[in-house]
Structure 1
Amino acid sequence: MTRWAFSDKGLLNPSEEALGRSKGGFSTKVHLACDGKGRPLSVVVTPGQRHGSTQLEELLDAVRVGREAGEPGRPRKRPSHLLADRGYSYERCRRLLRKRGVSHTIPERKDQKERRAGRPGRRPGFDREAYRRRNVVERCVNKLKQWRGIATRYEKRADNYRAMVVIASLMMWLPS
C-alpha cells in the first residue's frame, strides 16, 4: 500500500522523497563514489529498496576528478579506475564503464560464475590486490554515518537529507 503526504506542492509519493521499504523497514539508501583517500566525490540518495547498480551512471556523471598539482585544465569527469562490490557486477554496468573508458575491478557474482561454468570465453578481469583497497569506500560510509542526522535521517525531504550528506562530505574534505 502506497502512502501519500500533502505538501505545498500537492500530494507527494514517499518514493519521491527517497523513502522506501527495505529489509529493515522504511529506509533511505546513500550511494556514493569516493577517491582513494576516502573523500566523497558524488552522492545520490534513493529509496531503501533501490538497487545500487541502477545509480552507477548518475554517480559517474556527478564525479569531477581533480588534476595533479600544476597540471592545467578543468577537472576530469572520468576516474582512472573504479572499484565496486558484487552488486555492480551486471553487464549493463560493465558496458557503461567500457563505453566511458573507465577500467574497473568488480568481482563476479556466484550466479554468473555458475552460468559461465564449462563455457568457453574470457572471464572478466579481477585484480585481488586492487580490490583490497575497496574498504576505503566502506570506511567513508562509516564516517558519514557517524553524523547522527545522517544515520537516522531526521529530515523529511530528500533534498534536505542529501544536503546534510553533502555538508558532512565537505567536512571530510577539510584538513583535520
Structure 2
Amino acid sequence: MSNYKKFGDEPPDHAIGRSRGGLTTKNHLVCDGKGRALAFILTPGQAADTSMLPATLREIRVPGARGRPRSRPDRVLADRGYPSKANRAGLRERGIAATIPEREDQIAHRRKRRGRPIDFGDEQRARYRDRNVVERCFNKLKQWRGIAMRSDKLARNYHAGLCLAATLHWLGSMSAPERIEGDQLAVTVSL
C-alpha cells in the first residue's frame, strides 16, 4: 500500500498535485503561430486537461493598434488531451475553427452510436503538423532551470518566472514592431 499521503495534501496556492509520475504541475499554454506565449494557467498535476481549455482561452488578451484587445483566435490546434463535446461546442459557439484529433476511445464510442463524425482528413493532418510550435515554445521557456525543475514552492512565484521568460522570449523574437493579426493559436499541455 502506498503511503504518499504521509505528509498531507499540498495547499492550493502551490499548484502541485499528484499524477502518475509523482508530484507535478501542469502548465496549460496558448501561443501564437510563431511560438510566443500569449497566456498560461497553472494547475496541479491531477487536473484534467480537457476542462482547462476554455479557461486558458479566456486568458488571451492581444492588444492591437486600436480598439479592444483581441481575445479570440482564428483556429485552435490542440493535442489529444483536449477533445470533448463541450470544448468543441464552445469553440464552435465562439466561431473558432478547431484542429483537435479524437482519442481512440472516442472514435470507438462514436462507431457504436450515430453522430456527426469529426473531419480529420488530409487538410486537418497538415494543419496538425504545425502544433509543434507549442512544444518549441515550451522548450524555450524550459531553458530557465527554475521553470524546467519547478523549484519555486508557490504557484505565484513559478507563474512570475514563466511570465518573465515569456516576455524575454517575445522581446528576443521581435525584429521590428509587430502586430499579431490572423496568427493561429495553439494549445497544449506539458511540463
TM-score tier (shorter): 0.7 to 0.9
Q: CA deviation at 1:74?
A: 2.5
Q: How does the TM-score come out when normalised to structure 1?
A: 0.86
SS in 2 for 1:168: helix
Distance 2:39 2:74 in 1: 16
The one of 79, 87, 92 equivalent to 1:85 is 79
Counterpart of 1:64?
61
Q: CA deviation at 1:95?
A: 1.4
The one of 4, 8, 11 equivalent to 1:3 is 8
Distance 1:108 1:51 in 2: 16
Distance 2:62 2:112 in 1: 41
| AA aligned opposite 2:156 | D
SS in 2 for 1:125: coil
Percent of pairs identical after alignment?
Answer: 52
Give the superposed CA RMSD: 1.8
The one of 68, 73, 78 equivalent to 2:67 is 73
Counterpart of 2:188?
none
Alignment deviations for residues 140-159 of structure 1 (CA, whole Å, 9 cap, x no partner) = 11111121000111211111
Q: Structure 1 regions of 5+ residues with no counterpart?
A: 5-12
Distance 1:76 1:137 in 2: 20
In the alignment, does 2:130 pair up with 1:125? Answer: no
Higher RCO structure, 1 or 2 (CA under 8 Å, sep 6+): 2
Alignment deviations for residues 70-98 of structure 1 (CA, whole Å, 9 cap, x no partner) = x6423211001000011111111111111
The one of 37, 41, 46 equivalent to 1:49 is 46
Q: How does the TM-score come out when normalised to structure 2?
A: 0.80
**Preserved contact between residue 65 and residue 78 of structure 1 (Cα < 8 Å):** no
Aligned residue pairs, count: 165
Counterpart of 2:177?
none
SS in 1 for 2:172: coil
Q: CA deviation at 1:132?
A: 0.7
**Preserved contact between residue 41 and residue 63 of structure 1 (Cα < 8 Å):** yes
Query: Relative to structure 2, which stretch is displaced further, 110-119 or 80-89?
Result: 110-119
In the alignment, does 2:119 pair up with 1:98? Answer: no
